[in-house]
Amino acid sequence: MAKIRVTLVKSPIGYAQDQRVTVRMLGLRKMWSSAVHEDTPSIRGMVHKVRHLVRVEAVPEEEATEKP
C-alpha cells in the first residue's frame, strides 16, 4: 500500500481543540516534525481536517520499505 509523509508546517495554537488533537493523533508534536502513514481513508480524513496546518507528500516506494 502507498505511504504518505505528513509534516506540521503551522502551529495548531489558537485553533479548535479537535484540530489540535488530530495533529497529535497524526504523530506530530513539534513544528516541522514528520510522520509516515499508510494512505488509508481514515488518515486522509484526518489530514483533510487539518490541511491548513500540514504538508502532505507521497513517499517513494524504495524509501517506504527501508528499515531504520
Q: For position 62, what pLDDT does the model report? A: 72
Q: Grid coordinates standing for 26?
A: 497524526
Q: For position 1, what pLDDT does the model report? A: 81
Q: Give the pLDDT band of residue 67 (cuts 50, 70, 90).
A: low
Domains and CATH numbers, the chain: 3-64 (3.30.1390.20)
d(C-alpha 57, C-alpha 16), whole Å:
25
Record the pTM.
0.86
pLDDT in tens, 6-51: 999 999 999 999 999 999 999 999 999 999 999 999 999 999 999 9
Contact 15, 53 (CB under 8 A): yes
